[in-house]
Chain A
Amino acid sequence: MPDDRFFEPEIETLPRASLAALQEERILELVPYVYERSALVRRKWEEARVKPGDINSLADFTERVPFITKDDIRQFRDRAGDPFGGLLCTDYHTSTTVFSTSGTTGDATMYAHAWDEWHPFWAATARDLWEVGVRPGDYVLGSGFKMRGPLYHAEQMCGAIPLMVSTAIGGWAGALDAIRRYRPVCTTLTGLAMAELDHLSRSNDMRDVFSSFKGATFAGEPLGARARAQLESWGVEIFLWTSTGDVTAAFECRQHDGCHAWEDCVLLEAVDPADGSPAADGELGELVATSLDNPITPMIRFRSDDIIRMTREPCGCGRTHARFWPVGRKGDETIVAGHCFVPMDIWRALEQVPETATALFQLVRPAREIDELRVRVGYDPELTTSLPDVRDRVADVIMAAVGVAPVVELVPEPDLLARGRGGKLPRVVRS
């Protein structure tokens, strides 16, 4: 039963040894189940000469079971004509919903769940919203997109009332009206939403608008320093969250010291991106996820391409489940004339130029190593009087940040926002 701090006190503060025992029990059930049913798992395991009988402990599982990558899933899908890329362990008609990843990288993958009342992807998120302070009878504004299932289920699990108005691109003027009428306590923000709120802040008292909020969750992209400062100036406590390898979601608690992965739901690993060996606690590694609670399309040692730092040290909030800090996407590093940088370097630079301070940009990159740095940058037409002047200042700050003179393509912000998908703007594009 929920208490003042925890939605599920016993599970959220389970001692590590008990958590490991719980995971091992589930993994040992899962191993023969997926080997029998998942065509991709069986193929990968046969290639690696691993049989279910070889896996008798959690340690066996993380040492011997081969990884599955998104490319494995796509290749299986395309070669075998299997829409689920060999992950489906049941018949399609056994599932309740089939949803998909955002498709920001251009090719969404599908996964399925079976459920009666609440969507499993968001079930554990009730714990996170409870931590933000969502309580029975509270209103919660919007819920973003539905492509991963209805996030408002987590709000309703907390006893709250979803305020179902648009918080997507172009919806925030109306959302502010809803906030003033219903005084919600929480919402979900994205980088694209922040660009719109930045404009609305010129004609609205944002401290007053957000005065009813206990917090806002933010996901999809890194939160830039300027946007963070802006939200803090509006009195909004930000809770970062991210996907946990497409298995579930992980949110910060009020300690703001990493995102909590719910390890009764997902077996989380961080591995060296190059050789797959375990990354030490606190070191950089690639997030690898195994679903512990999805019998329809379980991910088994799924390499997410997300680079994280992870710790299993207990959090100051009292929760014992692993925490991680998203660092970036594998392959996001770009090399130009020997200079290596990540998109966040450009993000910080653009925040310094008032006309581009919302940091809407795309790095145009046909390959990881390129001869010429091309950046497509959104500018605010209301603030811009001279495009050549803005272009020069943008080029200067990027040069200072990454050590390479860029070719800057300036695009009005609304035009760039229109290239967003699922609340996110692809930051690295091929053209």
Chain B
Amino acid sequence: MTLASTTAAAATLPRHRLWGVSRYEVAGQPVYFEISWEDRRRDTAWARAMLADHGLDGTSGLIIVSGMPESAWFDPVETAACELGTPFSIGEIWSFEAFRTAMYASRLPITMIFGMDRTVAEGLGDDLASLVARVPAIGGRPDAMPLLTAAGARPFTVTRLGPALAVECPHRSGAHLDGAEWALAERDGELFLSTVGPRAHQASDAALGLRGTVTAGRCECGRTGQRVTITE
């Protein structure tokens, strides 16, 4: 009824080429970037392949730890979960919201947490170990890795790289970047990003304010593009 009628009304309106505008920071300075609907479609297809590699399907359950301002990176993951038939919940990235991640993980048949950061990991306190024991796959941000590992997890890396998202496959040999969209360069341990795909936001050797190492060559998962390990 309501969903159907509002969806029909929305379909009569002109759709702007932009899906949204977001922002990341480098050395405290904001860098704005636009995302087109086409960008999002391709990002979703890439995220879907990454999630499928981790075994997500119609029998899985997913918590995505992210906030509204991170939707440029994580909305494609949400949509990919929808396409795979995996119900998802959002655990917000605030320490006072850690209870929500714990609640979903304890009450629902969750098989993966994607994007756990240090704030939420710390906010979980003593619950972190039991959550790690309960959930088979945990994708952690680089700042959460020591806590997750200490709690007994074998997390895979999920990391924002400026406007891009990188995700480790189950082989955990560095976070994959969508090579059809982005290219990384490393100089003296500093990471720089360029756009390769036809994105609304074009970057050329843009400093990310991150340190890491970039690996090229075939991964055991079969992907041949760049992988990155954040070192700081």
- Please give the residue numbers on chain A whose beta carbons come within 8 Å of chain B beta carbons, in ascending order: 1-2, 7-8, 11, 22, 26, 77, 83, 92-93, 95-100, 103, 108, 110, 112, 115-118, 120, 123-124, 126-127, 136-137, 139, 142-147, 150-152, 156-166, 168, 171, 174, 177-178, 181-182, 248, 262, 264-265, 292-293, 418-422
Are B103 and A93 touching (Cβ within 8 A)? Answer: no
Are B9 and A2 touching (Cβ within 8 A)? Answer: yes
Q: From A93, A116, A147, A264, give the contact of B58 (CB < 8 A).
A: A93
Closest chain A CB from B95 CB (angstroms) = 9
A interface footprint on B1-22 (CB within 8 Å = 1, 0 otherwise): 1110111011011111011111
Are B85 and A164 touching (Cβ within 8 A)? Answer: no
Are A7 and B96 touching (Cβ within 8 A)? Answer: no
Q: From B70, B72, B82, B109, give the contact of A96 (CB < 8 A).
A: B82
Are A120 and B2 touching (Cβ within 8 A)? Answer: yes
Are A108 and B103 touching (Cβ within 8 A)? Answer: yes
Are B87 and A118 touching (Cβ within 8 A)? Answer: no
Measured CA separation A418–B97 after assembly (Å): 11
Are A100 and B30 touching (Cβ within 8 A)? Answer: no
Closest chain A CB from B72 CB (angstroms) = 6
Are B92 and A100 touching (Cβ within 8 A)? Answer: no
Decide if the interface of chain B is mainly helix, strand, loop or mixed. Answer: mixed
Are B15 and A159 touching (Cβ within 8 A)? Answer: yes
- Max count, chain A CB within 10 A of own CB: residue among B23, B82, B87, B92: B87
Measured CA separation A98–B19 after assembly (Å): 24
Closest chain B CB from A173 CB (angstroms) = 11
What is the total number of residues of chain B having a CB less than 8 Å from a CB of chain A? 50
Chain A residues with CB below 8 A from B16, complex form: 136-137, 159-161
Measured CA separation A373–B10 after assembly (Å): 51
Measured CA separation A116–B72 after assembly (Å): 19
Q: A92-B61, A110-B108 are in contact. List 9 more A-B contacts (CB 8 A).
A: A97-B89, A110-B103, A110-B107, A115-B3, A136-B16, A139-B21, A145-B68, A146-B90, A147-B92
Measured CA separation A156–B16 after assembly (Å): 9
Measured CA separation A145–B96 after assembly (Å): 13
Identify which of residues 36-91 in chain B touch chain A, using a CB-to-CB cut-off of 8 Å. Answer: 58-59, 61, 66-72, 75, 78, 82, 85, 87-90
Measured CA separation A414–B6 after assembly (Å): 40
- The 8 A-B residue pairs with the shortest CB-CB distance in the complex, in nearest-first order: A83-B107, A157-B10, A265-B2, A159-B13, A166-B69, A123-B6, A164-B22, A162-B20
Chain A residues with CB below 8 A from B23, complex form: 164-165, 174, 178
Chain A residues with CB below 8 A from B20, complex form: 152, 156, 161-164
Q: A110-B107, A265-B1 known; A100 and B100 CB under 8 Å? A: yes
Q: From B7, B87, B90, B108, give the contact of A147 (CB < 8 A).
A: B90
Chain A residues with CB below 8 A from B87, complex form: 92-93, 95-98, 112
Are B69 and A164 touching (Cβ within 8 A)? Answer: yes
Q: Mind listing 26 A-B residue pairs with CB under 8 Å?
A: A8-B6, A93-B61, A95-B87, A97-B88, A100-B89, A100-B104, A118-B7, A120-B2, A120-B3, A123-B7, A126-B10, A136-B14, A143-B68, A146-B71, A150-B78, A162-B21, A163-B20, A164-B22, A164-B71, A164-B72, A168-B68, A171-B69, A181-B32, A293-B1, A293-B2, A422-B97
